[in-house]
Structure 1
Amino acid sequence: MTGWYLLAILVSLASMVVIDRRWHLFWWADPRRAVVVHGAGIVFFLAWDVAAISRGLFERGQGSALTGIELAPHLPIEEIFFVTFLCYLTMNVYGLVALRLAERERAPR
């Protein structure tokens, strides 16, 4: 069962790409802005993880679904992909809400 968690995250991340491509919510709406926003989100959450790990608040979980690859003590490789997915999900939701609000404004009353 090794790697199932990473596979699930990658499938979820691919779903975010498909949704974004279909409705032009984030990366397809403005790639330059997406690089900055997505990068900043990933850096922020990884810094948060590192700070929590250094204070002893987070530890690497045990499970057969994990790959066992650590980028640093208690920082599994899955965390990078999860944070990337989390940021992408958030920006897709934001883009979808903005799109729906714009449609609502354009609709005749």
Structure 2
Amino acid sequence: MPGLYLAALLFSLAGVALTDARLKLAAWRDPRRTIIAVVLGTVFFLIWDAVGIATGVFVKGDSPLLLGIDLAPHLPLEEPVFLIFLSYLALVLHGAAMRLRALRAGRRPVSGQGGESAV
């Protein structure tokens, strides 16, 4: 079924965006920095892909799940969408890890209870 991979990527991207919107981990906390980071990450990995394609390391396989639209030889339309998803997901996961770290750092042993800590 052509386009299924792209649909799965967009569905997953929407899920990450909804999580981000609810918890304000990246784009909903600082949209400008998030956009810059996603663009830089995507461009970096597209350059990485171009080098890999030029050296023959990366080749596009045949899959009925791809739309069949190539932006360049061995670079399907789905690749930049995947790289956007990857970069955004990394930022959201980083934001979640930093929030969890801050929450854990905020918990201190409760004094007066026999040295037990509130965990």
TM over 0.5: yes
2:5 counterpart of 1:16 = no
Q: Which residue of 2 aligns with 1:61?
A: 61
Cα distance in 2 for partners of 1:45, 1:9 equals 17
2:88 counterpart of 1:82 = no
1:79-100 per-residue CA deviation (whole Å, 9 max, x = no partner) reads 0110011111111110000001
Cα distance in 2 for partners of 1:85, 1:41 equals 10
Structure index of larger Rg: 2
Cα distance in 1 for partners of 2:21, 2:108 equals 28
Secondary structure (helix, strand or coil) at the match of 2:71 reads: strand
Structure 1 residue runs of 5 or longer lacking an equivalent are: none
1:8-54 per-residue CA deviation (whole Å, 9 max, x = no partner) reads 11101111100100110110111111121111101001110011001
1:63-92 per-residue CA deviation (whole Å, 9 max, x = no partner) reads 111100000111000001100111111111
| AA at the equivalent of 1:102 | A
Cα distance in 1 for partners of 2:105, 2:32 equals 26
Instruction: Calculate the aligned-residue CA RMSD, in Å.
Output: 0.8
Secondary structure (helix, strand or coil) at the match of 1:62 reads: coil
- How many residue pairs get aligned? The number is 109
Structure 2 residue runs of 5 or longer lacking an equivalent are: 110-119
Return the structure number with greater helix share: 1
Which of 1 and 2 has higher RCO (CA within 8 Å, sep 6+)? 1
